[in-house]
Structure 1
Amino acid sequence: MIIHLWRYLYRNIFRFWLKWVLRQLTGKCELQRICDSSKESAERTLQIEYSLESSKCKTLQHALYVNKGEVGKCIELIIKEKKINIEKDRRFASKLELCLLQISGCKKLYLTVEELRKQPYNSDNKEHEEQLIELWNLLMPHEKLKARITKQWCDIGFQGDDPKTDFRGMGMLGLANLLYFSKHYPREARQILSHSNNPKLGYSYAIVGINLTEMAYSLLKNGFLKTHFYNTVPGEPELKDFHQFYCYLAYEFDKFWFEEKPESIMYFNQYREKFHEEVKRHLLDYRVVLALKYEQ
């Protein structure tokens, strides 16, 4: 109760007067001070985002959702609204532009990912079927698929004869992640598939992959991934950046699983949550960059 009261008082009363005093002392608004004091990283963008979210000014609130083509005009309006002397702070506009592109880009990325997640796998869709067959060919280049519906799918970690039923939770997003990993990191994907067939510590490669898609999706939805994207993408994060993060999860989870040595696959949920918490802890660090690092 006390904490909530303090937050309310700070955000609605104390913060206003603190900003006013600092403006009088420095001659700069809060956005300028953040751009001056913080390096080009998640720390700066997160502080800019918080400042805009906390503002009661509609011009500043709108900046959180500005489209790429409108960023320049939006910054002009902010400069006018905050009475910023751009001649004395020539780098302010370019610094703020990068932050706004990252902020709005993350919001648009979530909508893109959500749309893909909501798209169900359709076996009557030629493109969907081609992607599924391509996944098989990438993971099992030396073994021909004998039929579209076959027990062979279990060899790459699907539950039954027809993989389409396994995509229900994550839709086409699950297949897109699996396919991206296999296309861009074929050696690592096949290596992990081989690991998944371990007689003692094995797991269902495709099913676990779809489960990791859900993990990546929830981290994006709940805002944890912003730190990583703000540190790695100098502009708007795109779908490929989400796929790259998935590749990191797939590779790191395999290492984690074999380091932990679970007694059986029955403990999967317990270890999955432990891995999830580790990733979230990493993402709380302003400096975090979670990129796939594999042995050459």
Structure 2
Amino acid sequence: MDDRGSGGSFVAVRRISQGFDRGNTCHSSSAEVVAGSAAWLGKGLSCVCAQRRDSDSRLSFDLTPAEEDCLQRLQSRIDVPYDTSLPEHQEALRALWDAAFPEEELHDLVSEQWKEMGWQGKDPSTDFRGGGYISLENLLYFAKNFPKSFQVLLRKQEGDRAMWEYPFAVAGVNITFMLIQMLDLEAVKPRTLVGATFLKFLAEKDYAFDLLYCITFKLMDQQWLEMRASYMDFNAVMKSTRRRLEEELMHEDITKLEDLPSYNLLIR
């Protein structure tokens, strides 16, 4: 995960109508995909939410054996790149398509159809470089465990949307990367209080990172709507989402992720 530091590219999605027409065999879409350039995809992801304070580097939190074990398992997931040659990774990608568009058959793992989900091009594997295989796992967990919220965000069904919307799948990769940064998950020990707090939740539930991902995605979309954002505001929305999430995680009444106020935004 060393290739995240320089500028990348992005796609914006132009709203044309409310909802997708999935029944059209010609695959007509309610969105038009436009390429551009900005530091919020792939190698440019580190520009989105890097907000570590100088004092953070002087902090260190001791871990219980259970927390250390859970952190190491999560780090092992984070270190796995998406590999197009692995059948397991191919099947996960197909499973994501089936969960997103169960009524439409995917023709190939490299296909123009992927743009309908908000990938940068016809080969989504090129977009995983910023988040690795875990970013695909996060999206798949979201689709399987909160299918209604997943579909609402994918199809931009709620709220007064911008003419130029964020691409769903690319935003998902950004969220994975932002959480890894915010929680300092690549460090041997957490160096922030929010990171140490999260590890207590992780020790209780192995799927805590995936659950927090779902919460964050829904929170990000809420922030997007509240800020009346368009695609050039994406970085600002992500920073606002991070601040809100940190505040919620640090609230004294939070004993589990389901206690977070933003958890209530999710529907199954």
TM-score, normalised via structure 1 length: 0.59
- Residue in structure 2 matched with residue 217 of structure 1 by the alignment: 180
Find the partner of 2:97 among 133, 136, 141.
136
What is the SS of the residue equivalent to 1:123?
Answer: coil
Per-residue CA shift, 1:174-225, capped at 9, x if unaligned?
0110010001111110111011895625211111111111122223325414
Opposite residue 208 of structure 1, the aligned amino acid is A
1:246 to partner: Cα distance:
0.8
Q: In structure 2, do the counterparts of structure 1 residues 199 and 269 end up closer, same or farther at CA, with 3 Å as the change threshold?
A: closer
Per-residue CA shift, 1:107-131, capped at 9, x if unaligned?
3333222221221111110000000
What is the SS of the residue equivalent to 2:183?
Answer: helix
CA distance in 2, matches of 1:116, 1:267: 30
Matches within 5 A, 1:91-110: 103-110=64-71
Matches within 5 A, 1:1-296: 64=62, 103-195=64-156, 198=161, 200=163, 202-221=165-184, 222=190, 223=192, 224-228=194-198, 230=200, 236-262=203-229, 264-288=230-254, 289-290=259-260, 292-293=263-264, 294=266
Q: CA RMSD in A?
A: 2.5
Runs of 5+ in structure 2 lacking a partner?
1-59, 185-189
CA distance in 2, matches of 1:189, 1:248: 11
Runs of 5+ in structure 1 lacking a partner?
1-52, 55-63, 66-102
Q: Which has the higher contact order (CA 8 A, sep 6+)?
A: 2
Does the CA-based 8 Å contact 2:216-2:241 persist in structure 1? no
Greater Cα radius of gyration, structure 1 or 2: 1
CA distance in 2, matches of 1:187, 1:258: 18
Aligned residues: 194
Does the CA-based 8 Å contact 1:196-1:204 persist in structure 2? no
What is the SS of the residue equivalent to 2:204?
Answer: coil
TM-score, normalised via structure 2 length: 0.65
CA distance in 2, matches of 1:229, 1:196: 34
Opposite residue 124 of structure 1, the aligned amino acid is S
Q: In structure 2, do the counterparts of structure 1 residues 295 and 118 end up closer, same or farther at CA, with 3 Å as the change threshold?
A: closer
Structure with more strand by fraction: 2
- Residue in structure 2 matched with residue 39 of structure 1 by the alignment: none
1:151 to partner: Cα distance:
1.2
